[in-house]
Structure 1
Amino acid sequence: MRLRIHRGTREIGGTCIELESGGSRILLDLGLPLDARDLASTPLPNVEGLAGSSSTLLAIVLSHGHRDHWGLIPKVNPQIPLLMGRATESIIRAAADFVPDAVKLNATRHLEHNKPIQLGPFTVLPRLVDHSGFDAYAMEVEADGKRLFYSGDLRAHGRKGSLFEALINNPPRNIDTMLMEGSSLGRLADDQTFPSEAALEETFVDRFKITAGMALVACSAQNIDRVVTIYRAAKRTGRTLIVDAYASEVLKATGQDSIPKPAPGWSNLAVFIPKSQRVQLVRNNIAALVDSYRGFRLWPEELAEHAPRSVMLFRGWMMRDLDQAKALAGAKVFWSQWDGYLSEGSAGDALKADCERRGITFESIHTSGHASPGDLKRLASAVDPKRLIPIHTFEREKFPSLFQNVVLADDDEWIDM
């Protein structure tokens, strides 16, 4: 078996790994680079059979549902088999009705925790991991008597941190090559740790208690851990969590009874559909889905009254609806996404400026979706690979000082296992 990293040896995002054995090949992830202007102008990596056809390209295996790991899939030959988690597929398909340039992917087969899949000469064993992306997997791949472990994106401080500990306590054995993400390097000192989702919950509880009006939390609806954190904090402070149709459909798409959603048995939850989203539902011919929100619906004329007892999953374009409903008195905005999305000229930057103009307090409360350097050390030590190759990082030069058996690879370089 040999491998080739097409993107990721010097950057976060756009991940694509090609594995070859006996003339057969598979891809692990096919992501849209973070710096891509758009899908149309972003070329596919140089992989035979992606855009055309090749009997040797057996499948594309997606580790999770973040677009920097699957975003180039719409450009490939639709006949290529796709493998991903069942919830990953469901969430991507639910989001496609609301997110620009999104698509409804169709999985040929689903990944399941600790259930091996045979793809020609490759045996792929998915390992469910803790990540801000729901239904995320690391993967063991074996062929020709050689063993590779791909970490995917993972962390230890989320609501599924026990999965990381399980990985540490029962790591992949006899690994020849490990591809390990290093997103946190350069963002965090080597001895620092990220706050946990549990710690964020306590912070939100404190902030919600002292917010006179509506608490507006700007976070991704697909960060299911964060939505659970916010819901729990809202419930603990006697507030109702308000979500829009997009978030409602994503939450339902998880397929998990333990995830809050507009469904029987869930209290402290309401659905508000902003005007532009109502237009979008009609335009996409999916307006009928609002029927499932019966009993949870909150109307514009009710927002002002409910504001002091509510938390809203919020995006900047919703400000107009709240303003027109006179629901912004005493409101505060809590930014719960990567601070990189607040860069100058971004939508986050525009939201922050809008809050300043309106006199609305703006505060960042967030934790990373990626493992701290200390947890990466624990993972590398537990797996103890013969060779460790950095991936999904801007700071590969830091790896040799932190980990053993590091080999720095280059994009498009074939590496024999």
Structure 2
Amino acid sequence: MPSISTAAPTSRCWRTASTAGSPSCSPPSTCWSRTARSDKPVIREDELEDAFVDLRRQTKGHIFVQWSAQNIDRTVTLYRAAKRTGRILVVDLYGADVLRRMAHGTRLPQPGKDFPELMVVITPGGKRLYERQGRDAFVTEMATSSFATSRSRLVGARAFVMTRDSMLNDFDAAGLGFTSADAYAFSNWSGYLDPQDPNSGWARAHAAGSKTLKLHTSGHASPTDLLRFAEAMKPRALVPVHGVAWDDPGIPFEAIRRLSDGETWRIP
């Protein structure tokens, strides 16, 4: 019998790396992820892409972007913005790893000759992380590839650069710190940002005179849309795997099968 756990991924519909074409969708699933509490409108990823293109045209230096490597939609948005503006998108080892794992059989960007606008930077922290996992071969493959770049090579360039707070000291050590010519875009849920934290990318970029802004949109469907979909699909079980609002009044989901963290459920 098949089984699932609370770590099961949700069905997603991804945009492709090309600047035209329809999304590439996975089949419907009864495992749902949801954090949205309301039906408030959100901008589309293509509108966010336009915003990044505009920011690129206004920025003389780098655009440092803090986003989750697991947010494939956002990675594609940034790749397309880089391609449209004649720039490159630089991801770290983990970002490259996620794309390698997800892109097989799709048109999603991944490090390689087919996506020349995508480069990989190896920071000391990222290298240590993968070496601790026994994945030295992956580090070597990335470092010796034609799509590898370095922190020193990026100094003075104009790229979209993946950024996390844990990477900032490594960037600084190589002369790739924030400058007044750069922009810093926070592209995650705003609840993850503490602009008063002096060690955050936001605070450090602001202190350096970089332009700081939030460029994000929710990847989650609204409660109304999810309810309509559930009513149309009529699943025997609907398993919440992420979210905070499944018990909100006025959202009468049926056939909910709740699992505790780490609990495995065998599908009947």
**TM-score of the superposition, structure 2-length normalised?**
0.75
2:264 matched residue in structure 1: none
User: Following TM superposition, by how much is the alpha carbon of 1:357 offset from its aligned partner in structure 2, in angstroms?
Assistant: 2.4
2:5 matched residue in structure 1: 29
Decide which of 204, 218, 229 is 1:354's aligned counterpart.
Answer: 204
1:213/1:331 contact within 8 Å kept = yes
**Secondary structure at 2:52's aligned position in 1?**
helix
CA separation of 1:346 and 1:224: change in aligned 2, threshold 3 A: farther
Q: Does 1:277 align with 2:134?
A: no
Deviations 1:176-220 (A, max 9, x none): xx88665312xx3x3x23222222111111111111111111111
User: Following TM superposition, by how much is the alpha carbon of 1:27 offset from its aligned partner in structure 2, in angstroms?
Assistant: 5.3
User: Following TM superposition, by how much is the alpha carbon of 1:241 offset from its aligned partner in structure 2, in angstroms?
Assistant: 0.9
State percent identity of aligned pairs.
29
CA separation of 1:197 and 1:161: change in aligned 2, threshold 3 A: farther
How far apart are the structure 1 equivalents of 2:203 and 2:163? Answer: 16
User: Following TM superposition, by how much is the alpha carbon of 1:239 offset from its aligned partner in structure 2, in angstroms?
Assistant: 0.7
**Secondary structure at 1:369's aligned position in 2?**
coil
Q: Does 1:262 align with 2:111?
A: yes
Decide which of 195, 220, 230 is 1:370's aligned counterpart.
Answer: 220
Work out which of the two has the higher radius of gyration on C-alpha atoms and give 1 or 2. Answer: 1
Q: Which runs of 4+ in 1 moved over 6 A?
A: 344-347, 385-391, 407-412
Deviations 1:138-192 (A, max 9, x none): xxxxxxxxxxxxxxxxxxxxx84866xx85xxxx9xxxxx88665312xx3x3x2
Decide which of 293, 296, 311 is 2:147's aligned counterpart.
Answer: 296
1:47-86 aligned within 5 A? 62-64=8-10
Aligned residues: 249
2:73 matched residue in structure 1: 225
How far apart are the structure 1 equivalents of 2:86 and 2:3? Answer: 48
**Aligned letter for 1:355?**
A
1:303/1:325 contact within 8 Å kept = no
2:90/2:162 contact within 8 Å kept = yes
User: Following TM superposition, by how much is the alpha carbon of 1:274 offset from its aligned partner in structure 2, in angstroms?
Assistant: 1.2
**Secondary structure at 1:234's aligned position in 2?**
helix
How far apart are the structure 1 equivalents of 2:247 and 2:2? Answer: 28
User: Following TM superposition, by how much is the alpha carbon of 1:225 offset from its aligned partner in structure 2, in angstroms?
Assistant: 1.7
2:6/2:241 contact within 8 Å kept = no
**Aligned letter for 1:30?**
T
Q: CA RMSD in A?
A: 3.7
1:397-408 aligned within 5 A? 397-399=247-249, 401-403=250-252
2:48/2:77 contact within 8 Å kept = yes
**Secondary structure at 2:161's aligned position in 1?**
strand
1:228-239 aligned within 5 A? 228-239=76-87
How far apart are the structure 1 equivalents of 2:41 and 2:73? Answer: 18
2:188 matched residue in structure 1: 337
2:47 matched residue in structure 1: 199
1:130/1:160 contact within 8 Å kept = no
2:263 matched residue in structure 1: none
**Structure with larger RCO (C-alpha < 8 A, sep 6+):** 2
User: Following TM superposition, by how much is the alpha carbon of 1:223 offset from its aligned partner in structure 2, in angstroms?
Assistant: 1.5
Q: Does 1:183 align with 2:6?
A: no
1:130 matched residue in structure 2: 12
Unaligned runs of 5+ in 2: 15-21, 261-267
1:90-105 aligned within 5 A? none
1:240/1:268 contact within 8 Å kept = yes
Decide which of 311, 324, 343 is 2:173's aligned counterpart.
Answer: 324
The structure richer in strand per residue is: 1
How far apart are the structure 1 equivalents of 2:106 and 2:247? Answer: 43
1:389/1:409 contact within 8 Å kept = yes
